[in-house]
Amino acid sequence: MSTFPFDIVGFDLDGTLLDSHGDLAAAVNHAIAHEGRQAIPASEVRDLIGGGAKKMLARALEVTGEPVSDARFDELHRILLDFYEANIAVETRLFPGGLEMLDGLAARGVKIAVVTNKLERFALRIFDELGLSDRFFTVIGGDTLGPGKAKPHPDLIFEMLDRAGVSREEARAVYVGDTTYDTGAAAAAGLPCVAVSFGFCDKPPRELGANAVIDHFDQLIPALDYLGTASVR
């Protein structure tokens, strides 16, 4: 029997598993160009990511000029989504060490999930294009359960546990993310959380409230072993 302390590991997507900032930057700049705004360097778009496309777009509009009407915002949001869907995995890749880390978890019999605020169909398409779909027992998006359920609410993580067929109270599960949306959702669901310092962190990594912080994916499995030993739950 495996002595690995977790049966389920859930991951955020953007900024955690995948470095997607190049494709997200292209999409948000395409949208704001329709409003006559100047493009934002991709390196600066990293700081705008977190909480979903609407929040990213709102932040981009805020840093490039005046607010727009609600109706115009909805138009720009649709423009952003359409462009992104057509160009979803041009630059997006696993962060370094990601493939080896996934192999390591699989070798330990871990069920691996993705729980993201990205629209579910976008997450599924990215993994299809990257050839990663068979790595995950489930992919749950910000729209999967309907409005008001996305992170930092715990509902999506609870859904992950339900789909794994385990009791929420007894699940040996952990969540990995890069923002306060992730640490907040994990805490609300009663799960330990690991933060990645290389993501799109909305606070300094060690201020996100995670139980552990890693700087490379080759540190994740040792960190999970430590968390299990420390009995953080």
| Residue 12 a catalytic site member | yes
Secondary structure of residue 32 in the 3-state scheme: helix
Pairing mode of beta strands 93-94, 18-19: antiparallel
Transcribe 95-149 into DSSP letters: PTTHHHHHHHHHHTT-EEEEE-SS-HHHHHHHHHHHT-GGG-SEEE-TTTT-TT-
Helix axes 70-86, 21-33, angle to 10 degrees: 140
Expressed in angstroms, the distance from the first to the final Cα of the chain is 22
Helix (H, G, I), strand (E, B) or coil at 79: helix
Out of 12, 14, 178, 202, which one is annotated catalytic?
12
pTM: 0.92
Question: pLDDT 10s digit of each residue in the chain, 233 long?
Answer: 358 999 999 999 999 999 999 999 999 999 999 999 999 999 999 889 888 899 999 999 999 999 899 999 999 999 999 999 999 999 999 999 999 999 999 999 999 999 999 999 999 999 999 999 999 999 999 999 999 999 999 999 999 999 999 999 899 999 999 999 999 999 999 999 999 999 999 999 999 999 999 999 999 999 999 998 875 44
- pLDDT of res. 52: 83
Buried-exposed string 132-150: b where 16+ CB fall within 10 A, e elsewhere: beebbebbbbbbbbeeebb
Which residue has tokens 């979803």? 88
Helix (H, G, I), strand (E, B) or coil at 194: strand
- The confidence score (pLDDT) of residue 131 equals 97
Residue whose pair of structure tokens reads 């952990």 in the numeric block: 174
- Compute the Cα dihedral for 22, 18, 97, 177 and give only its sign: positive
